[in-house]
Structure 1
Amino acid sequence: MEKSPVWFKITAVVALLWNLLGCLAFAGDLMLTADDVAKLPEAHQAMYAARPGWSVVATAVAVVGGALGCIALLIKSKWAYALFALSLIGILVQDYAMFVLIDGAALAGSVAVILQGIVLLVGVLLVLLSRRAIARNWIA
């Protein structure tokens, strides 16, 4: 195994922090009570009511897979690729539910679309990064 560059380690740490924030946001979402949801704007209430349970599971797969993928990068395990691929699938399934089935773009607005676009971009970049790390023999 070859020594990975410093930027790779820094990127893995920043990505881990990003994914841990995603885990915290997901946990916060799970802890919302009916009273909490009732205090949200009507559009957000409609999204909560319409989202299928499998999209919540997809979100869990996305954030937990991403965090575990980052840990795999840091411990130099090629499992990072599989975990990031699984995370990306979770993101895509979540986005399908949010934007195709529920029409979250109309309900939540352009900010939600931009944020989910960033999440999708980071997911794709982490898959590519892990592939590059395997190809360069930085992880095994």
Structure 2
Amino acid sequence: MTDSYSQKPSKWFWIISVIALLWNAVGVFQYLIKAYNTEGFRSQYTAEQLEIIANSPAWATAAFAIGVFGGLIASGFLLMRRKLATIFYVFSLTGIIIQVYHNHFVIDSSEIMGNSAAYFSGTIVVIALLLLYFSIFATKKQWIR
């Protein structure tokens, strides 16, 4: 009988998995401070920006939640060496893409928040794609099942 965990992950698997968990935990934190409209959150934006954020449609807020919570759950599954990580990274990426669509095509966040908003959004999409690829790679290497 072959153990599906026959391939022991390398150290960098664990390093990437922990970094992924921390990265997505920061995303969840950002979502929560926005959802609870904390003073720390409000202090980051102008009154005009806060008004635009407050008037975001529910689907954009839901996409944000799916993106960050999906990524956090996926990272947890990655650490537990479960293939469900890939499915949740797909959910996360989908939420991120929908949120980026809202931020850059519905409200044009680059005009409101500056060009750094576009760069940061691009970075988030790239990291989400890399984490999805990493989970697929780990499955092929039989590091997760």
User: TM-score when scaled to structure 1?
Assistant: 0.92
- Would you say 1:126 and 2:131 are equivalent positions? yes
* CA distance in structure 2 between the partners assigned to 1:38 and 1:68 by the alignment: 29
- Would you say 1:60 and 2:58 are equivalent positions? no
Q: Name structure 2 gaps, 5 residues minimum.
A: none
User: Quick one: which amino acid aligns to residue 73 of structure 1?
Assistant: L
* CA distance in structure 1 between the partners assigned to 2:57 and 2:131 by the alignment: 27
Name segments (4+ residues, structure 1) moved above 2 Å: 36-40
**8 A Cα contact 1:50 1:102, kept in partner:** no
* CA distance in structure 2 between the partners assigned to 1:96 and 1:38 by the alignment: 25
RMSD value over aligned CA atoms?
1.9
Q: Per the alignment, in what secondary structure is the counterpart of residue 142 of structure 2? A: coil
User: TM-score when scaled to structure 2?
Assistant: 0.89
User: Quick one: which amino acid aligns to residue 64 of structure 1?
Assistant: F
- Would you say 1:47 and 2:52 are equivalent positions? yes
**8 A Cα contact 1:37 1:45, kept in partner:** yes
- Would you say 1:82 and 2:64 are equivalent positions? no
Length, aligned pairs only: 139
Distance 1:128 1:69, change over 3 A: same
* CA distance in structure 1 between the partners assigned to 2:30 and 2:121 by the alignment: 13
Of all paired residues, the percent bearing the same amino acid is 30
**Residue of 112, 133, 136 corresponding to 2:141:** 136
Residue 45 of structure 1 and its aligned partner are, at CA, apart by 2.7
60-69 vs 44-53, greater mean Cα deviation: 44-53
Distance 1:118 1:55, change over 3 A: same
Could you tell me which residue of structure 2 aligns to residue 106 of structure 1? 111
